[in-house]
Copies of this chain bind each other. A is one copy, B any other.
Amino acid sequence: MKGNVLVGQSGGPTAVINSSLAGVFKTAMERGFNKVYGMRYGIQGFMDEQYVDLSEYIKNELDLELLKRTPSAFLGTCRYKLPEIHEDKAVYERIFELLDKLDIEVFIYIGGNDSMDTIRKLFDYSLLTGAKQKFVGCPKTIDNDLAITDHTPGFGSAAKYIATSTKEIICDAMGFSYKKKNVNIVEIMGRNAGWLTGAAGLCRGEDCEGPDLIYLPELPFSVENFVQEVKGLLEKKDVVVAVVSEGIKTEEGKYVCECASANTTTDAFGHIQMSGTASYLATVIKNELGCKTRAVELSTLQRAAAHMASRVDVDEAFNVGGATVKAADEGSSGVMVVIDRVSDDPYQSATGVYDVHRIANDEKMVPRKWINEAGNYVTEEFLDYVRPLIQGHYQPMMVEGLPRHLSIHMKNYDWSAPRGK
């Protein structure tokens, strides 16, 4: 009889990280593993013996489908970097002791760059000690900045949410433009890589002009040039929509959002106020050009808006989860599952397996040739790359008018309990 599988979630959550968890669970059950344990709050919680038996939560196929539609990390997540083996062996001894105690055969970690570092270190340690466990990484990140894999699960859904919301924001702004100009600045996540920011351009089409300007963090940003570009546009049209990465930096390498606080002071309590990139730029435009401005930050909804998940993304996340168990079951360890793009048109993808040592800690940036010459938009090639990943809708299961989620905190329901306070 096979042993148990242990799975954890790590780093920033996504709308589909739980679909990968569902894929791990389902494939593990189908392949005859005994139990699937889930680490609470990743490796950090696990070291404190925080784990659950997933079968207590996923009791049937409906639960599995709910899990696929549940945003954020069902198990909880952490940002925790393991020490190097030579720095602190005790940590590794502790972890492997727990793995043995729980009869873990396969260790799956769903995460980004840092999480793959965890897989690499645990695998290396297993080589040193001859431990029997297999260690496999499952990629996820909305930022799409992982090397080797064509794209990461989580990116497509975030891109779809961003393009949808940007389209709605543009629609809203266009309605208000009579005899007054307005400038709207939308701030998108992705501190170093501009994949998500560029995805806002997907809404450009027959029924929407799309953003006028898109600034990725890959190129230096000039506040002065930005003001001039907006000014030029306002001479031709009433509504300007600019989409900026939260991570745009000046030529000198300073985050634009830091300019905002360059001179900040204190509020009534003596506290320093810090503004975001969009709200800073909106203030600059308002003061320099005198027109109405609005700053919109999509904030955590970019990674949590499961109600606008892409079916391609949910399915790929599920498949990638299943592929990790399959890889381990067939003998692989120290690997990460990747997504290969088999064909662009029609879009087809397949999972592959890649040595985790060769996945460097470097971030995959948007190539220069996928940004236009002026540095203020993405190219058609960029959009062609992203477009297949936002296709298809994964209809939420609606209960009483709201998307239903699977919750680890769910208690027995009291039908008659009041829900107000």
Contact assessment for B420 and A301 in the assembled complex, using a CB-CB cutoff below 8 Å: no
Contact assessment for A300 and B172 in the assembled complex, using a CB-CB cutoff below 8 Å: yes
A205 vs B404: C-alpha distance when bound (angstroms): 10
A393's closest neighbor in chain B, by CB?
Answer: B398
Contact assessment for B420 and A401 in the assembled complex, using a CB-CB cutoff below 8 Å: no
Q: Mark contacts of A164-200 with chain B using CB atoms, 8 A cut-off: 1 yes-contact digit, 0 otherwise.
A: 1101110111111111000000000000000000000
Contact assessment for A273 and B266 in the assembled complex, using a CB-CB cutoff below 8 Å: no
Contact of A296 among B167, B299, B378, B404 (CB under 8 A): B299
Contact assessment for A163 and B402 in the assembled complex, using a CB-CB cutoff below 8 Å: yes
CB within 8 Å of B: which of A377-421? 377-383, 387, 390-393, 395-396, 398, 400-407, 409-411, 413, 418-421
Contact assessment for B283 and A405 in the assembled complex, using a CB-CB cutoff below 8 Å: no
Contact assessment for A205 and B269 in the assembled complex, using a CB-CB cutoff below 8 Å: no
Contact assessment for A379 and B267 in the assembled complex, using a CB-CB cutoff below 8 Å: no
Given A41-B178, A165-B301, A171-B71, CB of A390 within 8 Å of CB of B413: no
Contact assessment for B275 and A268 in the assembled complex, using a CB-CB cutoff below 8 Å: no
Contact assessment for A72 and B268 in the assembled complex, using a CB-CB cutoff below 8 Å: no
Contact of A383 among B206, B403, B419 (CB under 8 A): B419
Residue among A174, A274, A279, A421 with the highest chain B CB neighbour number at 10 A = A421
A275 vs B282: C-alpha distance when bound (angstroms): 12
| A393: chain B residues within 8 A (beta carbon) | 396, 398
A40: Cβ under 8 A from any B Cβ: yes
A207's closest neighbor in chain B, by CB?
Answer: B407
A205's closest neighbor in chain B, by CB?
Answer: B419
A265: Cβ under 8 A from any B Cβ: yes
Number of contacting residues on A, CB 8 A? Answer: 111
A13: Cβ under 8 A from any B Cβ: yes
| A167: chain B residues within 8 A (beta carbon) | 402-403, 405
Q: How far is the CB of A166 from chain B (nearest CB, A)?
A: 10
Contact assessment for A420 and B381 in the assembled complex, using a CB-CB cutoff below 8 Å: yes
Contact assessment for B263 and A265 in the assembled complex, using a CB-CB cutoff below 8 Å: yes
Contact assessment for B262 and A268 in the assembled complex, using a CB-CB cutoff below 8 Å: yes
A294: Cβ under 8 A from any B Cβ: yes
A115: Cβ under 8 A from any B Cβ: no
A264: Cβ under 8 A from any B Cβ: yes
A408's closest neighbor in chain B, by CB?
Answer: B174
Q: Mark contacts of A291-307 with chain B using CB atoms, 8 A cut-off: 1 yes-contact digit, 0 otherwise.
A: 00010110111011111
| A76: chain B residues within 8 A (beta carbon) | 174-178
CB within 8 Å of B: which of A79-133? none
A137: Cβ under 8 A from any B Cβ: no
A317: Cβ under 8 A from any B Cβ: no
| A319: chain B residues within 8 A (beta carbon) | none
Contact assessment for B421 and A171 in the assembled complex, using a CB-CB cutoff below 8 Å: no
Contact assessment for A266 and B263 in the assembled complex, using a CB-CB cutoff below 8 Å: yes
Contact of A404 among B168, B207, B284, B391 (CB under 8 A): B207
A33: Cβ under 8 A from any B Cβ: no
A351: Cβ under 8 A from any B Cβ: no
A313 vs B266: C-alpha distance when bound (angstroms): 44
Given A76-B177, A402-B160, CB of A300 within 8 Å of CB of B420: no
A279 vs B299: C-alpha distance when bound (angstroms): 12
A305 vs B166: C-alpha distance when bound (angstroms): 10
Known A-B contacts: A77-B178, A378-B420. Give 18 more (CB < 8 A).
Answer: A13-B172, A71-B172, A72-B174, A165-B305, A167-B403, A169-B301, A172-B300, A172-B304, A205-B402, A207-B405, A265-B265, A269-B287, A273-B279, A275-B279, A296-B300, A307-B308, A378-B421, A382-B420
Interface residues of A (CB under 8 A from B): 9, 13, 40-42, 44-45, 50, 70-74, 76-78, 160, 163-165, 167-169, 171-179, 201-210, 259-269, 271-275, 279-280, 283-284, 286-288, 294, 296-297, 299-301, 303-308, 310, 372, 376-383, 387, 390-393, 395-396, 398, 400-407, 409-411, 413, 418-421
A–B Cβ pairs within 8 angstroms, 6 of them: A73-B176, A169-B300, A201-B419, A205-B400, A310-B401, A391-B401
